[in-house]
C-alpha cells in the first residue's frame, strides 16, 4: 500500500515548506558571546542588555517578531566559528551580533559577511576590520581598540604628565593598547613592562615600580588581572605616591570586586553609566531595576547593537532582502544610542566622543565611574584610511 505513504510524505514536505514560509517573517538574530567560564560574566552583561533592548522594543525588532539565539564561544576562535556556522546554516539568522574577543571576531566576521549576512560587532575593536578588512555588511557599535588608550594618552599629554611607567599583559591587545597610548602621549616613558597573561601576583612588578620612582603609572589589565593588579597596587600603598591611569581595567565588571580599592582610578571611555542623555538614562535606570546591578559598556554596546538593527529594519519596512537599504540606514546611525548622537565613519566604526572618568564614591555609597570631562570630540580611529570603502 504505497500510495498513502507517499501522501503522508508529501504532506510532511508541504508542512515543512509551509513552516519555512512562515518562518521568513520572523527576524532572527544570532548573538555570539562568552557565557561559560570565568569570562562568562561579560557575556552575562551583554545578554542581559540584549534582553532589555528586546523588552524596550516590545520583543519586535523593526516591527517584526524576533528570535534571538545566543551562542557561547567559550573565548575560543574555533568554537566561535562553529557557533557562527550553526547560526548561519542551521538557524539561518539575518544578523549575527556580539563577539567580545578580537581573535574570535577575526575567525567569525569574514564567514558571516561572506555569506551575505550582517555582522554587528558589539565589542571587539580589532583594527583589521577598521582598516583593510572593512566590509559593507560589517558595523561596529563599540569602538576601535586603539581609540580608548589614545584618549588617555592625549589627556596625560595635555596635563603635562611625564615619567610614566607602563604595564600591560603580553598579548596582542596589550601591545595594541600601548601603541594607541603612545600615538598621543609623547613625554617620557620610564619603562614599558609586559607581564604574563593571566598572572595573579604583581608584587614583583610593584617593587620594580617603586624602585623606578615614576610620576604616574598607566596600565591595561582587563578582567581578573585588573582586579588583582589594582588591589595589590593599593595594598602596597602605591596609589598615594603614583596616580594610577588605566584603560579597560576599572569598570562596572571589576568594580564590585574592587570596592574602595578602585577609588581615585582614572580611565578613559566613550561611555559611562552617568552619561547624560535620554536613551542612556532609560537604559541604565531600567537595567538596574530589572537586573539589580549597574550595566557596563559591554552591555551598552550590545543594547545599541539591537537598536541599530531595529533602525535598519524599520527603514526598509521589514523587507529583509533589501540589504542595500539596510546598509544605507545603518550608515546614518539614525537611532537613539546610549552614547548620544554619533556618526559612522566610512569604515563603519563610530566617530564618537571620549571622556575622562574617575572612580568616586557615588550617592548610594557604592564606588562608581563618573565623567570628569571630554577628552576627544568626534574622534576618528587611526585605521579608516586603510579601508577601501570611501
Tell me which stretch binds another protein (CB under 8 A): 85-93, 272-280, 304-312, 331-339.
Answer: 85-93
Task: Report phi then psi at 33, rounded to 5.
Answer: -155, -175
Q: Which is nearer to another protein, 57 or 382 (CB)?
A: 382
How far apart, in whole angstroms, are the C-alpha atoms of residue 57 and residue 74? Answer: 29
**Residue range at the interface with another protein (CB under 8 A); choices 31-39, 155-163, 266-274, 323-331:** 31-39
Q: Please tell me the distance from the alpha carbon of residue 15 to that of residue 268, in angstroms, as a whole number.
A: 55
**Per-residue string for binding with another protein, 101-140, x by CB under 8 A?**
-xx--xx--xx--------------x--------------
* Interface positions, 201-220, toward another protein (CB under 8 A): 201, 203-205, 207-208, 211
Residue nearer to another protein on the CB measure, 62 or 222: 222
- Residues of this chain, 225-264, that bind another protein according to CB under 8 A: 227-228, 231-232, 235-237, 253-254, 256-261
- Per CB under 8 A, contacts with another protein among 141-160 are none
The least CB distance from residue 332 to another protein, in Å, is 30
The alpha carbon of residue 36 and the mean position of all alpha carbons in its chain are separated, in whole angstroms, by 18
Binding site for another protein (CB under 8 A): 35-38, 40-41, 44, 72, 76-78, 81-82, 85-86, 89-90, 102-103, 106-107, 110-111, 126, 170-173, 175, 192-198, 200-201, 203-205, 207-208, 211, 224, 227-228, 231-232, 235-237, 253-254, 256-261
Amino acid at each position: 500500500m504505497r500510495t498513502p505513504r507517499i501522501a503522508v510524505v508529501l504532506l510532511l514536505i508541504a508542512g515543512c515548506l509551509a513552516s519555512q514560509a512562515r518562518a521568513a517573517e520572523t527576524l532572527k538574530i544570532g548573538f555570539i558571546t562568552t557565557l561559560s567560564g570565568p569570562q562568562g560574566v561579560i557575556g552575562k552583561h551583554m545578554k542581559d542588555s540584549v534582553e532589555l533592548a528586546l523588552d524596550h522594543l516590545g520583543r519586535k525588532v523593526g516591527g517584526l517578531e524576533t528570535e534571538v539565539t545566543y551562542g557561547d564561544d567559550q573565548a575560543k576562535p574555533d568554537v566561535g566559528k562553529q557557533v557562527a556556522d550553526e547560526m548561519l546554516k542551521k538557524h539561518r539568522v539575518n544578523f549575527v551580533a556580539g563577539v567580545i574577543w578580537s581573535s574570535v571576531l577575526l575567525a567569525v566576521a569574514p564567514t558571516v559577511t561572506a555569506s551575505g549576512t550582517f555582522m554587528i560587532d558589539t565589542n571587539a575593536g580589532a583594527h583589521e576590520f577598521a582598516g583593510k578588512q572593512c566590509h559593507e555588511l560589517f558595523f561596529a557599535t563599540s569602538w576601535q581598540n586603539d581609540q580608548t588608550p589614545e584618549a588617555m594618552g592625549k589627556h596625560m599629554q595635555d596635563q603635562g604628565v611625564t615619567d610614566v611607567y607602563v604595564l600591560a599583559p603580553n598579548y596582542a591587545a596589550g601591545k595594541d593598547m600601548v601603541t594607541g597610548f603612545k600615538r598621543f602621549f609623547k613625554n617620557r616613558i620610564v619603562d614599558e613592562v609586559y607581564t604574563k597573561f593571566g598572572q595573579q601576583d604583581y608584587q614583583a612588578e610593584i617593587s620594580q615600580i617603586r624602585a623606578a620612582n615614576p610620576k604616574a603609572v598607566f596600565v591595561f589589565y582587563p578582567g581578573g588581572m585588573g582586579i588583582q593588579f589594582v588591589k595589590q597596587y593599593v595594598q602596597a600603598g602605591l596609589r598615594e605616591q603614583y596616580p594610577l591611569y588605566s584603560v579597560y581595567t576599572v569598570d562596572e565588571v571589576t568594580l564590585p570586586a574592587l570596592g574602595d580599592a578602585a577609588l581615585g582610578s582614572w580611565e578613559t571611555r566613550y561611555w559611562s553609566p552617568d552619561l547624560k542623555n535620554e536613551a542612556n538614562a532609560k537604559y541604565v535606570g531600567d537595567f538596574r531595576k530589572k537586573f539589580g546591578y549597574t550595566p557596563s559598556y559591554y552591555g551598552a554596546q550590545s543594547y545599541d547593537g539591537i537598536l541599530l538593527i531595529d533602525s535598519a529594519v524599520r527603514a526598509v519596512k521589514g523587507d529583509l532582502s533589501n540589504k542595500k537599504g539596510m546598509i544605507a540606514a545603518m550608515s546614518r546611525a539614525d537611532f537613539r544610542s546610549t552614547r548620544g548622537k554619533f556618526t559612522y565613519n566610512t569604515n563603519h566604526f563610530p566617530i564618537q566622543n571620549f571622556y575622562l572618568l574617575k572612580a568616586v564614591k557615588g550617592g548610594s555609597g557604592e564606588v562608581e565611574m563618573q565623567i570628569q570631562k571630554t577628552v576627544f570630540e568626534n574622534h576618528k580611529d587611526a585605521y579608516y584610511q586603510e579601508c577601501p570603502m570611501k
